[in-house]
Chain A
Amino acid sequence: MGGAERSARKRRQQQSAAVRAVSQARGGGGPSRKTIVSAVAVVVLAVLVIGGVIWTNASKNATEGTTIAPHASSAALDTPDERRGATVVSGQASAKVKLDVWADFLCPYCAQLQQRFGSQIEDQIQAGNVQVTYHMIPLLNNRSDPPGYSLDSGNAALCAADQGKFTPFHDSLFASQPEEGKRGYDNAQLVKLGQDLGITAPQFASCVNAGTYDQQLNDALTTISQNPDFQGTPTVMHDGSVVNWTQDGWLTSLVNQAG
């Protein structure tokens, strides 16, 4: 195509554009209205989609880049040898009431149990009345997006137990619980929490990152799922029978009954 030909075509296009503009200004002609409305619709749609995706991702990834607030607890609740396989035992062996708690760090009712009765339980442990065996099981492992938070956090809590820091780690994770269906915390955030709670041993980070206890936790989940008494998380058992923890005063009455 020659240069003259091109400029002639350009001129024609400009002329027809001018004609269109004039007819638009006069308020006549369907196609021009259609063009304007289509353009506006496309822009509005693009804003809605881009804004919506950004907003949704922001709300789903709210935990990204945050620090889990460390939640201190009494040092008397933890011992260096508190981890027993995939469980953690807190309290004296001589305690009259022995409880088993199955929970998942992603489970909202577990956070409710912790919020309502966590400090009562810890007080009773400290008083020597209660011994608790914590079973942190990855029941809701595929209910975070991306999946895996239940297992990662359960493993990290056992790694913290190896450093004698299970209780504050456990309490901190429940106090800052991520929402189901959203992003949990990644290993780096879990390691940072341990360090903020005073863990200095380098083994802690390697334990968290390696998923050292993943297999044991999955096995524990399989085992408890076969127990007909197990009703999901949280399940609280006393001497092998399920305790209704939603009733106020269940813990005090257990301790009183044990005399």
Chain B
Amino acid sequence: MFRPSPSVLDAVGTLVRLGLAAVWLVSGFAKISDSGQTYLAVKAYDVLPDALLHPVATALPLLELALGAFLLLGLATRRVGVASAVLLAVFIAGVAQSWARGLTIDCGCFGGGGQVEAGQTQYPQEIARDVGFLVLACWLIVRPATRFALDRWLHAGAPQVETEKERI
């Protein structure tokens, strides 16, 4: 069976890591820059009690930005991969329950969100997209080694850092 070399897997892993970082940074930024809409989007899922809406709507964009920042730096990649997978599973569950209950909402995944007209829902696409992101997160859980990552620098000794600097 064909088995890609570690350096190829490292390169793919790097793209996966940076891709997922971009997803979190873009979605987190979209949410934090329209805090009113984010509140309405969280509310539209009709899952949380009123007292939790405000804290969750405030914390969610920050969590996404933090995950994105860690992935961008390649810090604690495996743990951040686990956290990403958990958060994505929560999102998928949220969209699925809205679909199952016949709510008509936009997921608000990348900003926006809230109630929409009955014909305007896109539940299958939203779930498929989140599953795609979940695959990225799972890659990083299974194989967190990537290039240009702080993790690598942390686990390496001084000589390796020097050679990396020379390469740059």
Shortest C-beta distance, B152 to chain A (Å), equals 11
User: Can you offer 15 A-B residue contacts whose CB atoms are under 8 A?
Assistant: A27-B158, A45-B66, A48-B62, A48-B66, A49-B66, A56-B35, A59-B36, A60-B35, A142-B43, A143-B43, A147-B50, A179-B36, A180-B36, A181-B37, A181-B40
Contact flag A55-B37 (CB < 8 Å), given A27-B158, A145-B54: no
Partner of A53, one of B40, B50, B62: B62
Assembled-state Cα–Cα distance A55/B54 (Å): 14
Residues 7-59 of B contacting A (Cβ, < 8 Å): 32, 35-40, 43, 50, 53-54, 58
Contact flag A145-B39 (CB < 8 Å), given A33-B153, A53-B58: yes
Shortest C-beta distance, B42 to chain A (Å), equals 9
Assembled-state Cα–Cα distance A34/B54 (Å): 35
> Does A198 have its Cβ within 8 Å of any Cβ on chain B?
no
A42-80 vs B, CB cutoff 8 Å, 1 = contact: the mask equals 001100110011011101100000000000000000000
> Does A85 have its Cβ within 8 Å of any Cβ on chain B?
no
CB neighbours (8 Å) of A26 from chain B are: 158
Contact flag A145-B53 (CB < 8 Å), given A37-B150, A53-B58, A180-B40: yes
Contact B39 A60 (CB under 8 A): yes
CB neighbours (8 Å) of B40 from chain A are: 143, 180-181
Closest B residue to A55 by beta carbon equals B32
B80-117 vs A, CB cutoff 8 Å, 1 = contact: the mask equals 00000000000000000000000000000000000000
Could you list 4 further interchain pairs (A-B, Cβ under 8 angstroms) beyond the known A27-B161, A41-B76, A56-B58? A33-B153, A33-B154, A37-B75, A49-B62
The interface size of chain B toward A, counting residues with CB under 8 Å, comes to: 27
Assembled-state Cα–Cα distance A28/B158 (Å): 6
CB neighbours (8 Å) of A181 from chain B are: 35-40, 43
Contact B75 A30 (CB under 8 A): no
Q: Interface on A for B, CB 8 Å cutoff? A: 26-28, 30, 33-34, 37, 41, 44-45, 48-49, 52-53, 55-57, 59-60, 142-143, 145, 147, 179-182
Shortest C-beta distance, A73 to chain B (Å), equals 28
CB neighbours (8 Å) of A57 from chain B are: 58
Shortest C-beta distance, B46 to chain A (Å), equals 11
Q: Interface on B for A, CB 8 Å cutoff? A: 32, 35-40, 43, 50, 53-54, 58, 61-62, 65-66, 69-70, 75-76, 150, 153-155, 157-158, 161
Closest B residue to A61 by beta carbon equals B35
Assembled-state Cα–Cα distance A147/B36 (Å): 12
> Which of B35, B37, B62, B66 lies at the interface centre, i.e. has the most chain A CB atoms within 10 A of its CB?
B35
Closest A residue to B73 by beta carbon equals A41
> Which of B36, B65, B69, B153 lies at the interface centre, i.e. has the most chain A CB atoms within 10 A of its CB?
B36
Shortest C-beta distance, B159 to chain A (Å), equals 9
Shortest C-beta distance, A52 to chain B (Å), equals 4
CB neighbours (8 Å) of B36 from chain A are: 59-60, 145, 179-182
Closest B residue to A179 by beta carbon equals B36
Assembled-state Cα–Cα distance A60/B58 (Å): 10
Contact A44 B69 (CB under 8 A): yes
Assembled-state Cα–Cα distance A33/B150 (Å): 10
Shortest C-beta distance, B13 to chain A (Å), equals 20
Contact flag A182-B62 (CB < 8 Å), given A34-B154, A37-B75: no
CB neighbours (8 Å) of A182 from chain B are: 35-36, 39
Partner of A48, one of B65, B154, B161: B65
CB neighbours (8 Å) of B157 from chain A are: 28, 30
Closest B residue to A143 by beta carbon equals B40
